[in-house]
A and B are shown apart, each in its own frame.
Chain A
Amino acid sequence: MSDTTEIDQAASAKSGGRLAILWRTRWIGVAFIVLLLVAWEVAAASGMMPSMSFPRMSAVLATWWELIVSGELFGELVPSLLRMFAGYFIGAALGIVLGLLMGYFRFFYSLLEPITEVLRPIPSPAYLPIVILFLGIDDEMKIFMISFASFFPVLLNTYSGVRSVDPIQLQTARTFGVTGWKLMWQIVLPSASPFIFTGMRISLAVALIVMVISEMVAASSGIGYFILSAQRGFKIRDMFAGVLTLAVVGYVLNRLFVAIENRVLAWHYGYTQQQRN
């Protein structure tokens, strides 16, 4: 018998068996979600809540399953995600490019900082009517809305990232004759990348929000449209199923993002860890 097994056995004996794992790991959090869903089921079944707007969880899950199997849900989700990613990548790319310019060149900072500070606090839904006026209610409008809202977090984080590049790294590059665009690409961009990723993670959540809002205001397809029209048509279980879908989508997107970030920024976590010791 190997040592590991012995250690495992010793550990589980000490902690009092299998159930204890629940307390020590994130499974406790999963168990809590399950508990809330059960509470929902019980509350709905007992008639404490109006059954019309508060169906049983089991009924919602059954409807959800039907919508998945029939393909209806994916039919709504796919156009939504396409719009979201189109807008997100346009916004993030522009945010990175302008953020690098603003962080690196005093001129661009002075030129663009005031307008950034004026436009940034406007909540996205507020300029939706204006955008509809110019771009109509089709995909162009939604992609514009999503990219505009995704743009600012990336921009802000990118230029603060550029400004926090260690001057010694810049001087080192200079002593090796690396200047101008080469310096930007080889030193400034990687050095600022932890900040850029932070901005992109915030923007991902923002993109999801704006996608849903823009689809609720004006659309004939998409998950936001699906949720709102289900509610208007008194298909309450469909409505809840749509919201649950968004929860899953948001969760998966964030996990994917974190996985990519951990891979690309592995050096950064190692480096900061070592600096702390």
Chain B
Amino acid sequence: MPEERRRFLTTREVHKSFAAPGGTTVALNGVDLDIARGSFVSIIGPSGCGKSTLLQIMAGLIDATSGAVVLNGRKVDGPPRNVIYVFQQYTRSLFPWKTVERNVAFGLENRERLSREAVAARTRDIIALVKLTGFEQHYPWQLSGGMQQRVAIARALACRPDVLLMDEPFSAVDALTRVGLQELLRSLWRELGLTVVFVTHDVDEGVYLSTRVVALSRAPATVAVDLAIDLPHPRSQIATRALPEYLDYRARLLAQLFADEGLVATEAA
């Protein structure tokens, strides 16, 4: 793989500390990552370890205390054009005064110089892609949680970003809806050649979706485990999850996570 492709999105020695009562809290303590173009990378870690902070730094939404994020050779110092961040709290991230159609068109109207017709056409296509045709004139709050998250994904994809940064996007929906969203995201990733960085606290979700899983240690966080997930595509929610390799990846990541949390996940004999 050529160098610039392998190092499409990189973080170099990223530190982040916050002012806290009685001193400063170090959240990230030198995180180095090279994310290849077209890869699907999940970031897992104990709660409060700074996963979301790292993602927001990558998105240019907050600044690192020191270190740098470089996207395609350019230092990130503000939200880059070709990166869209998808928030965990879709109910708060969608604009309640806009219909589904207006929400999806939001990015298009604002960053692309497109004619009205082109915006309408692209909006229609992308709504079809996330299977929300027929709901264009609904308001987000009239939809179920899973549908709302699909609106948020459609809004992000409408701008045809190269990178999608997703912060625990499926954590607030029920298990079956989540499977549906996972499949949708997988197929969009494969079809559109996206680079996805996906923060989750769910090891199974991370392994199933990704080509690579990075586990952060407890705060102050560094990269603790970095696993290439060499599972065949296309994947299957049932067959893939039963593969011995899948179980092995899962076990290694869980062991790391449990050790971090100080959990003893085995009953005494």
B121-164 interface bits toward A, Cβ cutoff 8 Å, 1 = contact, 0 = none: 00000000000000000010110000000000000000100000
B residues 66-87 near A (Cβ < 8 Å) are 79, 81, 83-85, 87
Given A174-B61, A270-B139, A274-B142, check contact A168 B93 (CB 8 Å): yes
Q: Tell me if A177 and B79 are in contact (CB < 8 A).
A: yes
The minimal Cβ–Cβ distance linking B153 to chain A, given in whole angstroms, is 13
Which chain B residues lie closer than 8 Å to A175 at the CB level? 59, 61, 79, 83-85
Q: Tell me if B84 and A176 are in contact (CB < 8 A).
A: yes
Q: Tell me if A176 and B61 are in contact (CB < 8 A).
A: no
Which chain A residues lie closer than 8 Å to B79 at the CB level? 174-177
Interface extent on B, as a size class?
A: 20 to 34
Given A168-B87, A176-B84, check contact A270 B141 (CB 8 Å): yes
A residues 40-69 near B (Cβ < 8 Å) are none
Q: Tell me if B87 and A171 are in contact (CB < 8 A).
A: yes
B111 CB within 8 Å of chain A: yes
A173-195 interface bits toward B, Cβ cutoff 8 Å, 1 = contact, 0 = none: 01111100010001100110100
Q: Tell me if B61 and A267 are in contact (CB < 8 A).
A: no
Q: Tell me if B141 and A190 are in contact (CB < 8 A).
A: no
Q: Tell me if A172 and B87 are in contact (CB < 8 A).
A: yes
Q: Tell me if B139 and A176 are in contact (CB < 8 A).
A: no
- Residue in chain A with minimal CB distance to B78: A174
- A177 CA to B93 CA in the complex, in Å? 15
Q: Tell me if B81 and A271 are in contact (CB < 8 A).
A: no
A166 CB within 8 Å of chain B: yes
- Picked from B89, B91, B97, B111, the residue with its CB within 8 Å of the CB of A177 is B111
- Picked from A169, A186, A190, the residue with its CB within 8 Å of the CB of B93 is A169
Q: Tell me if A168 and B141 are in contact (CB < 8 A).
A: no
Q: Tell me if B141 and A271 are in contact (CB < 8 A).
A: yes
B residues 30-89 near A (Cβ < 8 Å) are 59, 61, 79, 81, 83-85, 87, 89
Q: A-B pairs with the 4 shortest C-beta distances?
A: A271-B96, A176-B107, A274-B141, A175-B85
What are 27 A-B contacts with C-beta separation under 8 Å?
Answer: A168-B87, A168-B89, A168-B92, A169-B95, A172-B87, A172-B93, A172-B95, A175-B59, A176-B79, A176-B107, A176-B110, A176-B111, A177-B79, A177-B111, A186-B110, A187-B95, A191-B95, A191-B97, A267-B96, A267-B141, A268-B96, A268-B97, A270-B96, A270-B142, A271-B96, A274-B142, A275-B141
User: Given known contacts A175-B79, A270-B96, what 14 new A-B pairs fall within 8 Å (CB)?
Assistant: A168-B93, A169-B92, A169-B93, A171-B85, A174-B61, A174-B79, A175-B85, A176-B84, A176-B111, A177-B79, A178-B110, A190-B97, A193-B97, A271-B96
